[in-house]
Amino acid sequence: MKKTYKIEVDCANCAAKMEEAAKKTEGVTNAVVNFMTLKMIVEFAEGADPKEVMPRVLKDCRKIEPDCEIYF
Amino acid sequence: MTRKQKKMLTRILIAAAMMLVLHFLPIDGVLGGWLRFALYLIPYFVIGYDILLKAWKGIKNRQPFDECFLMSVATVGAIVLGRVQSGDYAEGVAVMLFYQIGELFQSVAVGKSRRSISQLMDIRPDYANLETAEGETEKVDPDEVAVGSVIVVKPGEKIPIDGVVLSGHSALNTAALTGESLPRDVSEGDSVISGCINQSGVLRIRTEKEFGESTASKILDMVENASSLKSRSEAFITRFARIYTPAVCYSALALALLVPLVRMAFGLPADWMDGCMRALTFLVISCPCALVISIPLTFFAGIGGASKAGVLVKGSNYLEALASAGIVVFDKTGTMTEGVFEVAGVHHAALPEEKLLEYAALAESYSTHPIALSLQRAYGKAIDKSRVTSVEEIAGGGVTAVVDGHTVAAGNEKLMTRLGIPCDPCRSVGTVVHLALDGQYIGHVLIADRLKPNAEDAIAALRRRGVRKTVMLTGDSRKVADSVAAELHIDEVRSELLPADKVANVELLLKEKHGKEVLAFVGDGINDAPVLSRADVGIAMGALGSDAAIEAADVVLMDDDPLKIAKAIGIARKCTGIVRQNIGFALGIKALCLILGALGMANMGLAIFADVGVMVLAVLNAIRALNTQNA
């Protein structure tokens, strides 16, 4: 399942780091961050619940980029 | 400016003011210089606390090598050096200050280009006027409008959902979708697509799709997701930054250690401070931000600019590929020609022409093939299908039927040969429908397709852009294909192909590519889908209304104008040109400054320029890709 989320992040490099962090989160098979449109497209693993996974994605992203935001 | 940017601006102003005051404060030598040190730390923390915090978090999460880390090490280093040696802290604080000014500028510039690009694609309708059962209208969210509802679009409003005009007539501005400034007239019964602006009259429209499935939504979705497909240059920069930042940090460390060691080896005083200073300058220069930000920005602006010109590109990778197009392969019908067949003449008629057309139209009355439709149009009168019985379609040949008790055969030469009826070949170019009545040849109808007005210019423009080879693939007869190719000056033509043969031919052509050349296929998208996906870049025509085209292709020409192929290549070239300029310029300046820094010939001022200045210039250069007027 694929879902798109609006995000807030300051620089392109940070966006790339968010992408890395989101990809490594459990329950996420793939993630793409589009800095230009400020969107994150997350592909969830089979059977994963986005409502449960997304807070962890945000937590992992905050670790590397403290002032980022994901709206879900 | 956003709230965040305003906060940053305030911090910059406060820190700058404090620096100015401190500069004139007579505090030299007070408390052994510690007072000066402590006072300078205030503006330093005001301006740089978030950077220091981020750097610390990076270290804690074992991802230390980023620009915050570089900045923190460089500024802390400069301040410590100041304490130990010169007593001058202004330099370290200034580095942080200028870094933040650069970041702010970049954030404003990116925000601005983001806005101007989204304005370009301002086709998202905000509301729909839904007609209620009582005949009144009600403003609702387009998402809530069910298929088959009636909506009212007033002059000046956007059509929110695809549908059919029930009543009213008006001129539609399709510029946002096609880049075409000429308005399109619509009246009762016409299909209209969302995203067009209604210019003159009130239209009542019955919706035929949901909002999410409508043209405007699909296009927006496509363009917004376009920059997610990353180009090779973008991937390169990401990989590059991953190696580059640690490499620079280690070189800086080596510089700090090696310079004094070399001096010691030559019997000079070690001068550890000088080594450290050089290493710090080195760190400031090295930030990779100019590249990391400007390259995706260029592609984003390029895709935005292209969509303004009526060319939708589905990803940065396709834009990049298009720039090196060397072979362009076309489909004929619908791409180079209008795809509208018209009866161009009736030849060798043994009966009056109208009678002949009537038999042809009746025999083909059960077919929806374009040829059959053009015969029915040419006949012009209502067709009484009860006159036609025992219709038999002969695949790849034509049709036989019984009309008013007479056996009519209508089809190509193959059909006539099969039926054993001698027929006269046609000397004119076009599709020929031979007719036989009760086994007797009664003449043939010539049906021809018109070339698009820009087709010839389009091929010439491609050649001017340096396309090495143009090829036309078509299912049409050799005679027609050769004549079209000769008229348009196309290099190579392969005719009488079945859809599967087209894929095979494209595969052969793919093998003929030189080096990094790219093969683009241009088709009308409906039956070309396999070829569109097989080619390096698939370009679809006939996007207005054709979902198949939007799905299968990588690039969509919104107004079916073949001249736009060259335009798209031009835009792509401009974009990749800017990317190359930025990579060359940023790396060149940085390399130069790094060498100067290593040799101890660059001060912090130059280092700041190499970092922030280069980034700002690269961002400004990237935004040029938005302007596609002369591309």
Indicate if B443 and B432 belong to the same structural domain. Answer: yes
Structure tokens of B174?
A: 């399709």
pLDDT tens digits for range B503-562: 888 888 888 888 888 999 988 756 677 888 888 898 988 655 466 666 778 888 877 888
B99-108, B226-235, B529-538: which has the minimum mean pLDDT? B226-235
Which residues are CB-neighbours of B580 under 8 A, at least 6 positions away? none
Does residue B47 fall inside a structural domain?
Answer: yes
pLDDT at A39: 82
Indicate whether B166 pLDDT > 80: yes
CATH of the domain at B424: 3.40.1110.10
Indicate if B90 and B136 belong to the same structural domain. Answer: no
Indicate if B387 and B377 belong to the same structural domain. Answer: yes
CA distance B613 to B40: 25
Q: Tell the residue number behind the tokens 């059960």, with chain if given.
A: B366
Which residue among B450, B478, B509 closes a domain? B450
Give the pLDDT mean for B169-196.
81
Q: How many domains does chain B fold into? A: 4
Domains parsed from chain A with CATH numbers: 2-71 (3.30.70.100)
ipTM of the complex in this document = 0.74
pLDDT at B501: 83
**Nearest CB neighbour to A37, from listed B61, B103, B227:** B227
Does residue B260 fall inside a structural domain?
Answer: no
CATH of the domain at B545: 3.40.50.1000
pLDDT tens digits for range B27-82: 766 677 788 888 888 999 998 898 888 888 878 877 666 677 778 888 888 888 88
User: A63 touching B, CB under 8 A?
Assistant: yes
| DSSP tag of A1 | -
**Nearest CB neighbour to A36, from listed B54, B227, B241:** B227
Q: Put residue B487 in one of left, alpha, beta given phi > 0 → left and psi -120 to 50 → alpha.
A: alpha
Structure tokens of A9?
A: 């992040």
| DSSP tag of B560 | -
Indicate whether B461 pLDDT > 60: yes
Does residue B24 fall inside a structural domain?
Answer: yes
DSSP string, B186-240: E-TT-EE-TTPEE-SS-EEEEE-S-GGGSHHHHHHHHHHHHTTS--HHHHHHHHH
A41 to chain B nearest CA, in Å? 9
Q: Cβ of A37 and B4 within 8 Å?
A: no
DSSP string, B14-68: HHHHHHHHHHH---TTGGGGHHHHHHHHHHHHHHHHHHHHHHHHHHHTT---SHH
Q: Cβ of B228 and A64 within 8 Å?
A: no
pLDDT at B362: 84
Does residue B599 fall inside a structural domain?
Answer: no
pLDDT tens digits for range B282-296: 877 877 777 777 887
User: B193 touching A, CB under 8 A?
Assistant: no
pLDDT at B404: 84
* Local structure of A5: helix, strand or coil: strand
Indicate if B442 and B460 belong to the same structural domain. Answer: no
| Domain around B561 | 312-336+452-571
CA distance B244 to B318: 27
User: B70 touching A, CB under 8 A?
Assistant: no
Indicate if B407 and B473 belong to the same structural domain. Answer: no
Indicate whether B367 pLDDT > 90: no
Indicate whether B120 pLDDT > 70: no
Indicate whether B380 pLDDT > 90: no
Closest chain A CA to residue B107 = A10
Indicate if B24 and B91 belong to the same structural domain. Answer: yes
- What residues 7-46 of chain A have any CB closer than 8 A to a CB of chain B? 10-13, 16-17, 32, 34-39, 41
Give the pLDDT mean for B244-262.
82
Catalytic site includes residue B331: yes
**Nearest CB neighbour to B292, from listed A13, A38, A66:** A13
Three-state helix/strand/coil letters over B295-340 = HHHHHHHHHHHHHHCCEEECCHHHHHHHHCEEEEEEECCCCCEEEE
A21 to chain B nearest CA, in Å? 11
Indicate if B464 and B549 belong to the same structural domain. Answer: yes
B172 to chain A nearest CA, in Å? 29
What percentage of chain A carries pLDDT values higher than 90? 8
Indicate if B316 and B461 belong to the same structural domain. Answer: yes
CA distance B38 to B35: 5
B17-31, B106-120, B244-258, B298-312: which has the minimum mean pLDDT? B106-120
A52-56, B22-26, B240-244, B393-397: which has the minimum mean pLDDT? B393-397
- Candidates B4, B68, B116, B227: best to mutate against A (most CBs of A within 10 A) is B227
Indicate if B475 and B547 belong to the same structural domain. Answer: yes
Question: Mean pLDDT for chain B?
Answer: 82
Does residue B495 fall inside a structural domain?
Answer: yes
Can you name the residues that pair with B443 across neighbouring β-strands? B435
Give the pLDDT mean for A33-37.
77
Q: Cβ of A32 and B66 within 8 Å?
A: no
What percentage of chain B carries pLDDT values higher than 90? 9
pLDDT at B327: 92
Band the pLDDT of B180: cuts 50, 70, 90.
Answer: low
User: B54 touching A, CB under 8 A?
Assistant: yes
Indicate whether B306 pLDDT > 80: yes
CATH of the domain at B177: 2.70.150.10
pLDDT at B205: 92
User: B241 touching A, CB under 8 A?
Assistant: yes
Does residue B527 fall inside a structural domain?
Answer: yes
Q: Cβ of A64 and B63 within 8 Å?
A: yes
Greatest Cα pair distance, chain B, in angstroms, is 121
Q: Cβ of B292 and A41 within 8 Å?
A: no
B113 to chain A nearest CA, in Å? 9
Q: Cβ of B66 and A13 within 8 Å?
A: yes
Marked catalytic residue, from B331, B528, B536, B560: B331
B227 to chain A nearest CA, in Å? 7
Indicate whether B187 pLDDT > 60: yes
Closest chain A CA to residue B238 = A16
Q: Cβ of B227 and A66 within 8 Å?
A: no
Total CB pairs under 8 A between chain A and B = 59
Give the pLDDT mean for B611-616.
82
Does residue B77 fall inside a structural domain?
Answer: yes
Indicate if B111 and B2 belong to the same structural domain. Answer: yes
- What residues 89-118 of chain B have any CB closer than 8 A to a CB of chain A? 103, 106-107, 114, 117
Indicate if B105 and B208 belong to the same structural domain. Answer: no
Does residue B297 fall inside a structural domain?
Answer: no
Which residue among B175, B194, B213 closes a domain? B213
Residues in chain B: 631
pLDDT at B572: 92
Which residue among B450, B473, B491 closes a domain? B450
Indicate if B414 and B498 belong to the same structural domain. Answer: no
Indicate whether B569 pLDDT > 90: yes
